[in-house]
Each structure stands twice: as structure tokens, then as C-alpha cells.
Amino acid sequence: MSLEAPIADRDPSGNATIADTSYRHYEGPRNLHSVRFRVVALSTIRQNVNRTRLGFWIPAGFILLTYFIFGAIFYVTQSVRQFGVTIPGDTGNPYALTLYQGLVSIDLFLFAAALTVGAGSIAADNRANALLVYLSRPLTRRDYLLGKWLGIFLLLAGLSLVPNLVMYLFFLTAYWKDGFSDQAVGMFGRMLAASLIGPLLHTSLILGFSAWSRSPRLAGAAYAGFYFILSLASGILGEVLLERDTAGRMPQTIAIVSNLSVSGLNRGVAQSLYDVTPQQAVQNFRQGRRRIRRRRVIQEAPPNMPGRPPLAPMAGLTLAIIVLPVGAAAARIRAVEVVRG
């Protein structure tokens, strides 16, 4: 048995320390160049990809549903075709047409998601005076804008690309032997390009509207107004011109005019990328619906409607709509006073 005093009773004037838990200097790593806009982009994404962001997940759900429905229609149609039934009026590339229809149908949902993700992106910052916090860091205005844009774009691109990729893979796996193998590579490129037009347009536009507002709701409402009114106006104008142009002398102009809206530009460029015409799309869809309902197929001439617009002006306009709002946003941000006098 040890007769040494237990540890607790030994000489108390030994070593003891009281930690200083107040402010310490930071001696850790610091990256100057490699972060910046990426941090902003990641923050935007993180803020939106959480459970409660219904305004993002509900459109996402609808987008997936839409593509699923079109995939189902395609499947049924192809099955019918396999039995040798020729459907009169069946024109165009069915794969391209299905992808195109999917694309066109989800634009509204992309718009809704853009509103959720983008309306407050800069508008809320304006209201909270956040730019003061950003710019007092090693961040330039360009980093800020690029980061915001990238954050919104990546989210919307995800919404658009995922269902498209799934459908592409469906074609790839199920119809490889049925003729898809020849088009596989080309179709991939076209699908990629086409599915990004919508996100590009929506991102730039909502960012522009958001930068010029101090209220997310107002920015969203302004963009919604812009989107719908332009859609309506271009459609009506296109119809009016079509009525007037009985001689059929300006099909291209009519085609351009009736596609002068956000969804229209998306449609117009996609038509060129997928090499489909609006008439084919309508017919295909109608035929598809008829097939599902198992009615007797009647060949029908497509009704009087505008044709496919030429690529060059559409692409040009699209590019303008992508670049100009960002420029406007940049101008607005530049005007913000940091450390007000």
C-alpha cells in the first residue's frame, strides 16, 4: 500500500493555466485569388437549395413531370410504330421533336424558379446595404456580379439539364438499335446547347431586374410583367401580321415577330438547333394526343401559323438579351456609394 499522498492533495502551487478566451489574432491560411466570386456563387446556391425553398422545388417537380409525360408519350408512339402502323403526317425526327417539346413546355417553370432564386438576389442586397459588406473585402464589383450570375445560372441550368439528360439517356439506352445510334453524338451537343438557352436568358434578365430594384417582390413582379406582356404582345402581333400577309410574302418577318419574347427566343433558337418546325411540333403533339386517346387518325394539314424563324437574328437577339441586362446591372452596382460621405 502506497503511503504517498493522493494526487489531489499534493502541492497545489504547481502548474495551472487560465485560458484567455477573448479575441485572438488569426494566424491561419488566407487565399486571396482563388476564392472571390466562387464564394458568392456558392452562397447563392446554398441559400436556395434547402428544404423549405418551395418556389424552387415545385417548379423542379413540374419540370421532371413534364419530361416524364413526354417520355411516356414517346414510348407509346414508338411502340405503335413498331407494329408497322404508318401514321400519315408523321414528319420530322421524333427524338428531336420530343426533346424540343419538353424544352418548350418547361419555360414557364424555369421562369418561376428564376423568380424564386433571382428576384431577391441583388434587390435584397440593395435594401440591406449588403454591397458595403462585400466591397470592404478583397472583392471587386465584377466578382460580386459574376458570382451572383453564376449562382443563379447554375441552379437554373441544373433544373433544365437534368431532365434533358435523363431523356437523352432514355433514348440512348432504349432506342440505340432503333436508329438513335447514328444521331447520338450530334443530339447530345444539340440537347446541351438548347437546354441552356432558357437558363441563360432567365438568369440575365432576372439579374438585371433585381439590380435595379430595392424590393425582391417588385423586381419579380417587373420581370413577370415583362415576360408575360412581351409574350402576349409578340403572339398577337404575329397573328395580326399573318392575317394581313395574305400573299405570304414575309414569312421570315412574321416568324421573327411572333417569337419576340423570352419564351419565343428560346423556342426560335431551339427550333433551329433541333431542326424542327413549329408545324411539325404541333402535328406531332396532336397526333400524340390522338394516339393516346386511341381515336381514328385523320391526317390534318397544319393550321395557318408562323414558321420557323431564321437562326441568325434569333441568335443575335438572344445574345443581346443575355448581355445587356448584365451590363445594366453592372451600371447600377457601380453607382453604389461605399462608405457614404
Partner 1 sequence: MTALSPAVANAENLTVRYGPKTVLSDLSLAIPEGCVGLLGPNGAGKSTLIKTLMGFLRPASGRATVLEKDTVSEALAIRQEIGLMPEQDCHIPGMNAVTFVAYAGELSGLPSAQALRRAHEVLEYCSLGEARYRNVETYSTGMKQRIKLAQALVHGPKLLFLDEPTNGLDPQGRDGMLALIKDVSRAKGLSVVVSSHLLPDIERTCDHVIVMRGGRAVRQGPIASLRDTGADTWEVELRTFSAAFVESVTRRGGVPGFRQGALLHFDLSKAELPPGLLLFQAARESGAQIRGFRPAQRSLQEVFMEAVEG
Q: Which chain residues interact with partner 1 by CB under 8 A?
A: 21-32, 35-36, 39-40, 43, 47, 120, 124-125, 127-130, 132-140, 338-341
**CA atoms of 118 and 121, how far apart (whole Å):** 5
Residue 146 beta carbon to partner 1: minimum distance, rounded to whole angstroms:
14
Q: Of the two residues 4 and 20, which places its CB atom closer to partner 1 in the complex?
A: 20
Residue 38 beta carbon to partner 1: minimum distance, rounded to whole angstroms:
10
Q: Of the two residues 37 and 180, which places its CB atom closer to partner 1 in the complex?
A: 37
**CA atoms of 314 and 291, how far apart (whole Å):** 34
Residue 333 beta carbon to partner 1: minimum distance, rounded to whole angstroms:
13
Q: Of the two residues 249 and 340, which places its CB atom closer to partner 1 in the complex?
A: 340
Conformation bin of residue 179: beta by default, left when phi > 0, alpha when psi is -120 to 50: left
Distance spanning both ends of the chain, measured CA to CA: 80
Please report which helix (H) or strand (E) contains residue 170, including its range. helix 141-174
Q: Is the dihedral of CA 164, 318, 329, 59 positive or negative?
A: negative
Type of residue numbered 232: L
Q: Of the two residues 27 and 182, which places its CB atom closer to partner 1 in the complex?
A: 27
Q: Of the two residues 46 and 244, which places its CB atom closer to partner 1 in the complex?
A: 46
What are the helix (H) ranges across 19-129?
37-48, 54-82, 94-105, 107-128
Angle between helices 37-48 and 141-174 (to 10 degrees): 60
Residue 115 beta carbon to partner 1: minimum distance, rounded to whole angstroms:
16
Residue 34 beta carbon to partner 1: minimum distance, rounded to whole angstroms:
8
Buried-exposed string 289-299: b where 16+ CB fall within 10 A, e elsewhere: eebeeeeebee
Q: Of the two residues 21 and 82, which places its CB atom closer to partner 1 in the complex?
A: 21
Q: Which of 336, 341, 282 shows the shortest CA–CA distance to 135?
A: 336
Residue 298 beta carbon to partner 1: minimum distance, rounded to whole angstroms:
55
Q: Of the two residues 15 and 21, which places its CB atom closer to partner 1 in the complex?
A: 21
Residue 252 beta carbon to partner 1: minimum distance, rounded to whole angstroms:
46
Please report which helix (H) or strand (E) contains residue 269, including its range. helix 262-274
Q: Is the dihedral of CA 234, 240, 243, 244 positive or negative?
A: negative
Q: Of the two residues 36 and 202, which places its CB atom closer to partner 1 in the complex?
A: 36
Q: Of the two residues 119 and 201, which places its CB atom closer to partner 1 in the complex?
A: 119
Please report which helix (H) or strand (E) contains residue 314, including its range. helix 311-334
Locate 163 and state its grid cell.
431532365
Residue 199 beta carbon to partner 1: minimum distance, rounded to whole angstroms:
22
Residue 23 beta carbon to partner 1: minimum distance, rounded to whole angstroms:
4
Q: What is the DSSP letter of 111?
A: H
Locate 327 and state its grid cell.
451590363
